[in-house]
Chains A and B, each alone.
Chain A
Amino acid sequence: MAMNSNTPKQTSHLKREILVRVIKAYLSDNFEENTRLIPYAMRPKNSDVPNYRCCIFKERAILRDRTIAGLGFSIEETDDSVLLSDLAVKAENRETPQDHPLTVLTTACKGCVPSRIYVTDLCQGCVARPCVNTCKFGAISIQNGKSVIDPEKCKNCGMCIQVCPYQAIQKIIVPCENACPVGAIAKDENGHAKIDFDKCISCGKCASACPFGAVHEKSQIIDVLKQIKHKRKNQKRVIAMVAPAMFGQLPCTPGQLKEAILKLGFDDVYEVAQGADITTKTEAHEFVERLENGEEFMTTSCCAGYNELVDKHIPEMQHFRSDTKTPMYYTAEIAKCENPGAITVFFSPCVAKKREALNNSNVDYVLNYEEIGAWMIALGIQVAECEESNFKTEASAEGRNYCITGGVAKAVQTLLPEEIPAHPVIIDGLTKQTVRDLKKYAKNGMCELGNLIEVMACTGGCLGGNSTVNAIKPAVKQVTNYVNESHSIKEQFEEQKN
């Protein structure tokens, strides 16, 4: 079975288990001590060690590092001698979350070999020797009748792979390096993956791709739990802002989801689809304006991973990217305005929104769906048994559909006048290839495939985000049901015009 982001993986099970334990520790009467005990509780004395590790001590050391990420700290920057109990105190006293949301657990990472091209045992040592003849760098020689690649000379061009009649030559890939669309993660001289944060666009693809679960998100769960715990004393309401993808994540109705979130201790829940409706209206207006001014195309601007890609790697695209703000931006503005002094928490399907929130003072914290799920487990909330609770503001069908690939372009199209039709081009997931395509469109100032380019960093849209809980197919079905029972933005739009 092919591995994809929705294949059940032992690594996400582990990450979620750590989160549940961190939350339970925080809610217990001794946060520090119960945090210190997490690795021992998960691997008690004499317990079996999974066969991918050498011994129980290394296994616990790795669980300790995972707990550090759960507490919201960088694993790389934390000294091995620091106790988890001290980090728990530090997490509780922290005023703001750490800046870059990704961190690499190098002890777990050691398992894979550097990316290279390798001749397997399938080599028949044939007479034709196309590999030797094709290699422009003289890197292949015959030893003991079989082809061998000299790593010093090999440039990883892959020509030998293509010409071998036995398909005996393979490229050994490093999953994180392979998944990163911008070459921001690579193995250092010690064989450990390292993220270059100047290049990283926070898309989270490395976190999903690593079979060792070595790339973690620094969680802000302790920060949020603290706000909920002290909200009365601080006299600050805590508001949840739920991105459209959340409605496909748990086995319950939208109304039950709202009730479940209130049970976590939030004072109110806003649908980010409400902000998406403002994005749609603004973006449709902007599209018309740009085309009337003779521009060839416009790209969407709601995906945080894409926005970071443009700012860091394709600055020439900035001109073509819509100036419209994201649904999170508008929703947070409304939430802060309606609840002065409140703390706002965005519920996100991906890590990139954590970066976007750092630059938006209206968004105080970001939690992902794994963290929300873990919190519900820790409190024993049965979502399917919750009462129905209604949202104060009805969002449109199109806004609720933003999380499915193609949904943003479709929403914008709904509001365009007949004389200015859009021809949407959907970039369904950033890869090295789609990044090259985007660079080409920006450089040429045109895209031969259409004039409205929707870019989603994740395949499938937000429902394919790196920290979603549900598999993509059932999630699409669940969101689509919700969309189908909602009103079109066109009705709202017509009403406002009249």
Chain B
Amino acid sequence: MEKQISVKVCLGTTCFVMGSSNLQELIETVPKKYGNKVDVAGVPCLGLCSIDWEFSKAPYVKVDDEIIKEATVEKVLKAIDEKLK
């Protein structure tokens, strides 16, 4: 079986307030769109915001090892599509 792509939506306080609240829909829509090719989950703070002033680049999403800054639904879907190519 192919390796699953892992998508982690950071639901730490900073990411949530800066916009990952609006990324929660990914947790529902991604499995519908990609089936078991992608494993998506909301996760506790990934620790990316606490480095100096990096809160301004939140929300963060990790697609496998790739870190997406100022993540939006569109950016995350594009990153998944790239990996599936």
Q: Which positions 1-27 of chain B face chain A at CB distance < 8 Å?
A: 11-14, 16-19, 21-25
By the criterion CB–CB under 8 Å, are A381 and B55 in contact?
no
Task: Give the chain A neighbours of B42 by CB distance below 8 A.
Answer: 251
Residue of A nearest to B74 (CB): A1
Verify A8–B13 contact, CB threshold 8 A. Answer: no
Q: Would A469 and B55 count as touching, CB distance under 8 A? A: no
Q: Does A474 contact B (CB under 8 A)?
A: yes
Q: Inside 8 A of B64's CB, which chain A residues have their CB?
A: none
Q: Is B31 an interface residue (CB 8 A)?
A: no
Q: Which of A299-329 contact B (CB under 8 A)?
A: none
Per the CB 8 Å criterion, the residue count for chain A at the interface is 28
CA gap between A370 and B21 in the complex, in Å:
12
Interface-lining segment among A120-128, A290-298, A371-379: A371-379
Residues of A close to B49: CB separation below 8 A: 377
> Could you tell me if A377 and B21 are in contact, using CB atoms closer than 8 angstroms?
no
A365-406 to B contact mask, C-beta < 8 Å, 1/0: 000001001101100111111000000000000000000000
In the complex formed, the residue of B with least CB distance to A477 is B24
B residues near A17, Cβ cutoff 8 Å: 18, 55-56
Q: Are A471 and B24 in contact (CB under 8 A)?
A: yes
Knowing A384-B12, A384-B44 touch, does A469 contact B56 (C-beta < 8 A)?
A: no
Tell me which residues across on chain A come within 8 A of B25, comparing CB atoms. 471, 473
Across-interface contacts of B24 in A (CB, < 8 A)? 471, 473-474
A-B contact count (CB 8 A): 66
Is A342 interfacial (CB-CB < 8 Å)?
no
Bound-complex Cα distance A280 to B74 (A): 43
* Residue of B13, B16, B18, B25 with most partner-chain A CB within 10 A: B13
**Contact indicator A16/B17 (Cβ below 8 Å):** yes
Chain B residues with CB under 8 Å of A12's CB are 19
- CB atoms of B21 and A42 under 8 A apart: no
Contact of A8 among B12, B22, B53 (CB under 8 A): B22
Smallest Cβ-Cβ distance to A42: which chain B residue: B56
| Interface residue? A178 (CB, 8 A) | no
Chain A interface, >50% SS class: helix
Given A17-B56, A471-B24, A474-B24, A383 contacting B19 (CB threshold 8 A) = no
Is A383 within 8 A of B22, CB to CB? no
Q: Smallest Cβ distance from B77 to chain A, in angstroms? A: 12
Least CB distance, A469 to chain B, in whole angstroms: 5
Q: Is the CB of B18 within 8 A of A383?
A: no
A361 to B53 CA separation, bound complex (whole angstroms): 38
Q: Is the CB–CB distance between A16 and B12 below 8 Å?
A: no
B-chain residues with CB within 8 Å of residue A380 when the two chains form the complex: 50
Known interface pairs A377-B55, A383-B13. Does A13 touch B18 (Cβ–Cβ under 8 Å)? yes
CA distance A297 to B44 in the complex (A): 49
**Are A251 and B72 closer than 8 Å at their CB atoms?**
no
Task: Tell which of B11, B18, B53 touches A251, judged by Cβ atoms closer than 8 Å.
Answer: B11
From residue 432 to 484 of chain A, which have CB atoms closer than 8 A to chain B? 469-471, 473-474
Contact of B70 among A13, A374, A376, A384 (CB under 8 A): A13
Q: Is the CB of B13 within 8 A of A373?
A: yes
Given contact pairs A8-B72, A13-B70, A384-B44, A471 touches B21 in the complex (Cβ within 8 A) = yes
| Residues in chain A within 8 A of chain B (CB atoms) | 6-8, 12-13, 16-17, 20, 41-42, 250-251, 370, 373-374, 376-377, 380-385, 469-471, 473-474
A-B contact pairs, 30 of them (CB 8 A): A6-B22, A8-B19, A12-B19, A13-B18, A13-B70, A16-B17, A16-B18, A20-B55, A20-B56, A42-B56, A250-B13, A250-B16, A250-B17, A251-B11, A251-B13, A251-B16, A251-B42, A370-B17, A373-B13, A373-B16, A377-B13, A377-B17, A377-B18, A380-B50, A381-B13, A382-B44, A382-B45, A384-B12, A384-B44, A471-B21
B contact set with A: CB distance below 8 Å? 11-14, 16-19, 21-25, 42, 44-45, 49-50, 53, 55-56, 70, 72-73
The 3 nearest A-B residue pairs measured at CB: A373-B17, A8-B22, A470-B21
